[in-house]
Structures are given as structure tokens and as C-alpha cells.
Amino acid sequence: MAGRLAVVGAGLMGSGIAQVAAQAGWQVTLRDLDDAATARGVDGIRRSLEKFAEKGKIEASEVEATLGRITPTTDLEAAADADIVVEAVFERLEIKHEVFRALDKICKADAVLATNTSAIPVTQIAAVTERPESVVGTHFFSPVPMMKLCELVRGYKTSDATLATVRAFAEEIGKTVVVVNRDIAGFVTTRLIAALVVEAVKLVESGVISAEDLDTACKLGFGHAMGPLATTDLTGVDVLLHAAKNIYTDTADEKFFPPELLQRMVTAGDLGRKTGKGFYTY
């Protein structure tokens, strides 16, 4: 199936999606707003591939071959010939709307327009296009080269053909898919982790248990690979706060209302691993 993929956003998620697609033989255009951002994305991909090669998971020759299939650009028009476009920009609806309005004009008629959103309803994103049937959610997990799951999300008007195309794409690049049939805020995975994190933070905030012991309880009691607070630090405390707020705004369900501690950490800049401090110090 390998064809042409455009990824909009060269951050951690976008560059990870570009990497796994290029490894599977896709020609990838990786777009961001400036050269520094695309260079950071490509550097991250190189480091990731080199680590795989060092561990013997890929041949050394695959590093340059994969990078050779990735074209960095600052021009969104480069998405014009893509078969599939995956948007991986910041989790704000107005930013995503700006991207999808532009893609709607630029992309060919049979292109699939996918969003890597983890919490914003696909229907809301698709509404600004003239082709909502071609818009679908492809929620990858971080770090993309390591995580096997891709949550496919139907918008209100997503067609069966669009869903079938992205399922084939995700499976071809090595992912196992689950299908969310209705794009409620937070879908399934973000909804579950947000509810767990909100309750976990409340327990730590009120002095019931330490962050370390709570994570240990989830790892050893429930078989989680990481506890919810270590997961929050990895994902970004700010990202989790935005997700919980988005779900709360959509549902008015109190269990998703972000605790004060989460909001104070974001205000203070303790965003997890990316800043060196969150629930843990790195």
C-alpha cells in the first residue's frame, strides 16, 4: 500500500509518526512552521533510528534509507500530493481548524485527512472542511516507534472507506488498532487515563498517599507498565490538564474536573520530563 504521507507538526508525535511510516516504505513530507522545528524533528528521528540500530532491532543501513524517505518542509502546499495527511499540532481547536481549512483547499480530492488529537471530537475538527467524510482520528501513542496502539476515531460523517484506508495504513506501519465508533470527548483511552489521573492527583493532593506509592500500587496491583503519575510526567502535565479540561467542558462530568494541584503545577512550569520536574524530578 505504501504511498505518500504528509505529517503536519514535527514535534514528538509528528516526528514519531513520520519515522514509523518511512520505516515501512512511505514517502513522507514532514512540515512545521520553521526550519529549526523541522530540523529538531529530523534529528529526533535520526537518534531514534540509531538507537534501534545499536540494539540490533534494525540494520544500520536502514537509518539512512529511512531518513532518505523523509522530506522536511515549512510549506503546507507540499501536502498537495499526499494520499494521507496526519495533523499533529498542538491540542487547541482553533489551531487545528486553521490547519484543516488550509488542507481542505490544498489536498487532492481522494486524500484522507487524519488528526492525531487525543481528546478533541473529530466532528468538530471536520466541520470546517468541505469533506467531513474524509476526516478521521488517528490517535497514536508516545513514543510512537515503541507504542503498538493506534486508536481510530470516527467523526459523525467519517465514511467506511476513510476508516478502511487509515486502518490499512496503521496496520501496515506496525500498529494494532482499536476503533472508537463515536467521537465523544477524550474518546476511550484519554477518557480512561484522565479519570484515573484526576483521582490519583486528588489522593496525592490530600495527603492520602505519595506519588511514588500510588504509582507502585497501580503497577503491582493492576499490572500497569507505568503508574498514572509517571505517565502524566511522560505525556506532559499540561497535556493531561488540557485533555481533562476538554472532556469536562464537553461533558460537565465532575470526575474530569482538574484538581488544583494539576493546575498549580502547570502555572509553575512543572510539566514533567520535558521541564525536568513534575510529580517526579528528572
Binding-site members for CoA are 48, 55, 118
Task: Name every residue whose Cβ is closer than 8 Å to that of residue 140 and which is 6 or more positions away in sequence.
Answer: 13, 16, 17, 116, 147, 149, 150, 175
Binding residues: 48, 55, 118
Burial of 86 (0-12, 13-18, 19+ CB in 10 A): buried
Please tell me the distance from the alpha carbon of residue 73 to that of residue 204, in angstroms, as a whole number.
44
155, 125 Cβ separation under 8 angstroms: yes
